[in-house]
Amino acid sequence: MKISKFELVVLGVVSLLFLVVSVVSSVVGLSGSLLVMNENQILYLYSSSPQILAGVYGLTFAGFVFFRGELDREVGADSTLIEVVGILKFRCFWMLLIITAVVGVAVLLSNLVIAYEGGGDLGLLSILMNVGQSAFVVSLFVIGYFIYYVVHPKRIELISKELQHIADPGKIGEGSLLGDLSEFVRAYNSIENMMQKYGRDSELILDTDASRGMDKPGRRFVSNPRLADMLNLNGMIDGVLCKRIKNLITLRNSILHGADPVVSVELVKEAQDVHSKLEKILVG
């Protein structure tokens, strides 16, 4: 999955925050310390801080693993969430990478403070102490934002709206011509039915998924984007048509999960054109 604007913004904000806090705290520490610490206080603070941070990081990582499992179960119950969940998992993974980097820097700096404590260079020790505590504070901030993002009650809806803007940019802006949503849904449902019929005829979709211990006739365990990829890989459709189909799938799923129930005229025509081409290929 490609890195989007969201991931770059998070990385930029965290980097800028760490840089600003480190520079300000170091300048203040060199010009005139607000707090004066003895040897025992320094050793206690910079030995306990990494332990606290490591404990919080471990709990965060465990929560991330549990959260991924919950998302996978949601996709298993509703395959229309596959695009949204994919983006959500990637963003959480990206933030966890940033958290890991900042926590690693904080632990390293704490070790350096302990190593340099007692040396003759008080200026270097002051910088290490201030930058180390800056990394500690930024780590807690990023972990807090990560938790906030994960538990946000409208995270699915917000990502759905982002996907809608990507899939249907023609609806954005004043004066945009909106199409008939019922026409779009009618064309999309026909496209979906043709792909699922292809899946059943190819035994990609089974009436009963007995291998999973589920006795639910008609249960689909191959998502629509995956069916489009299979049509492409089997030479039934080309890459351009496959991409157009997946774009329609994304738009329909985004509307289903909280995006505005509107489509542009261009997307209605696009759905009808894709339907016509796919019908010629699969139905004849």
Is 42 or 284 the better-scoring residue by pLDDT? Answer: 42
DSSP conformational letter for 217: T
- Of 143, 127, 137, the C-alpha closest to 106 is 137
Tell me the pLDDT tens digit for each residue of 221-252.
678 888 899 888 888 889 999 999 999 999 89
Give the long-range contacts of residues 222-225, CB within 8 A, separation 24 or more: 223/79, 223/82, 224/79, 224/192, 224/195, 224/196, 224/249, 225/82, 225/83, 225/249
Q: What angle do CA 52, 58, 60 make, to 5 degrees?
A: 105
Cα-Cα end-to-end distance for the chain: 35
Mean pLDDT of 200-217: 52
- Of 148, 149, 22, the C-alpha closest to 90 is 149
282 vs 164: CA distance, rounded Å: 28
Tell me the pLDDT tens digit for each residue of 141-198.
999 999 999 999 888 888 988 888 888 876 655 456 788 889 999 999 999 999 888 8
Q: What is the DSSP string of 142-175?
A: HHHHHHHHHH-TTHHHHHHHHHHHHH-GGG-STT
What's the confidence (pLDDT) of residue 1? 67
pTM: 0.81
What's the confidence (pLDDT) of residue 123? 81
181 vs 190: CA distance, rounded Å: 14
- Decide if 151 contacts 35 (C-beta within 8 A): no
- Average predicted confidence (pLDDT) for the chain: 85
The encoded tokens of residue 221 equal: 């365990």
Is 87 or 206 the better-scoring residue by pLDDT? Answer: 87
pLDDT band at 31 (very low <50, low <70, confident <90, very high): confident
Sequence-separated (6 or more) residues with CB below 8 Å from residue 140: 53, 56
The encoded tokens of residue 184 equal: 């779009």
Residue keyed to tokens 């899946």: 199
Mean pLDDT of 122-129: 85
Tell me the pLDDT tens digit for each residue of 92-104.
999 999 999 999 9
pLDDT over 70 percentage in the chain? 88
